[in-house]
């Protein structure tokens, strides 16, 4: 399969308040965000010309920056509008949207209080994170080597670039072994999340999902919980041990990229995509595409 590098594409990227040609949107090799991971980002989806939960994503971007001790030099409203304009400038009505903010080149040390903060927004077509066959059968996950760290070791609720290093490592190992993704435990040994999405389990018509006390409480996760409860489905947020997985009949993951995707396997545990996970996947898809009004 031929891969088109992300630095060699047509289009426009919003960079520090203005549009620049895609191939000219560059940073210096001594950018602090590259060396010390002082960078935060969001992953959003536009459906039919509307970015789903745009304001919630932008507010989280600002909160993540605050946790990393820097201030984004724009308002939430300005970034919201820039996201919309970037999609329009590139002629896209269905797209993946990536806002990112990072520290610049003024200081090259751990201390970086005087660095300029930069913001960029890129958008591109991305129809589905998983193939239709994977969604139908349920994706296969293995166990990740690394665990989600404790809240007193890093800013676990920031969507920060550095926190994804262990995700990339884990996903590479999973794919090398023939799996789609990897399931991560938290620092205590409870089920946490996959490398890029939250997880839900179903037992006797009740949904169980890990308490997001050391990982992101995803915006898609929150949406799906509202959808389920609006249908009268009980949703329990709690700590879940790995050995409990044998008790669950269905499993699915959620995220802006993953949307709602059934899971067929996690390590030695198997699940069958059923009525609840499949119907929630359909309901979420219809809602974000404005075929169904949110509850």
Catalytic positions: 159
Calpha distance 124→129 (Å, rounded) = 13
Calpha distance 245→250 (Å, rounded) = 10
Calpha distance 92→84 (Å, rounded) = 10
Provide the 3-class DSSP secondary structure of residue 12. strand
Sign of torsion over alpha carbons 22, 28, 31, 34? positive
| Cα 238 → chain centroid | 21
Helix, strand, coil % in the chain, rounded to nearest 5: 30, 30, 40
Q: What are phi and psi of 175, to 5 degrees?
A: -65, -35
Give the residue carrying structure tokens 């660095």: 115
- Do 211 and 227 form a contact (C-beta atoms < 8 A)? no
59 Cβ contact partners less than 8 Å away, ≥ 6 residues apart:
76
- The residue count of the chain comes to 295
Give the residue carrying structure tokens 């509850």: 295
- Do 122 and 86 form a contact (C-beta atoms < 8 A)? yes
């Amino acid at each position: 399969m031929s891969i088109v590098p992300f630095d060699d594409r047509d289009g426009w990227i919003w960079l520090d308040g203005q549009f620049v040609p895609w191939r000219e949107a560059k940073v210096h090799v001594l950018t602090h965000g590259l060396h010390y991971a002082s960078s935060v980002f969001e992953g959003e989806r536009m459906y039919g010309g509307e970015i789903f939960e745009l304001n919630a994503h932008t507010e989280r971007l600002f909160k993540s920056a605050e946790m990393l001790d820097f201030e984004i030099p724009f308002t939430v409203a300005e970034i919201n509008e820039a996201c919309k304009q970037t999609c329009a400038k590139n002629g896209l009505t269905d797209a993946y949207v990536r806002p990112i903010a990072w520290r610049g080149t003024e200081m090259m040390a751990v201390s970086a209080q005087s660095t300029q903060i930069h913001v960029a927004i890129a958008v591109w077509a991305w129809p589905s994170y998983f193939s239709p066959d994977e969604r139908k059968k349920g994706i296969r996950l293995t166990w990740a080597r690394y665990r989600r760290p404790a809240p007193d070791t890093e800013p676990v609720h920031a969507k920060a670039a550095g926190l994804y290093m262990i995700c990339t490592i884990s996903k590479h190992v999973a794919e090398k072994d023939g799996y789609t993704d990897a399931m991560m435990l938290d620092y205590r040994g409870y089920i946490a999340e996959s490398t890029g999405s939250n997880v839900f389990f179903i037992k006797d018509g009740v949904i169980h999902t890990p308490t997001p006390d050391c990982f992101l409480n995803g915006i898609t996760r929150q949406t799906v919980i509202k959808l389920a409860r609006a249908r009268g489905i009980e949703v329990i947020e709690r700590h879940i041990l790995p050995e409990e997985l044998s008790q669950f009949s269905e499993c699915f993951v959620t995220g802006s990229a993953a949307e709602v995707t059934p899971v067929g396997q996690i390590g030695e545990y198997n699940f069958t995509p059923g009525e609840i996970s499949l119907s929630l996947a359909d309901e979420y898809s219809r809602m974000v595409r404005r075929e169904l009004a949110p509850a």
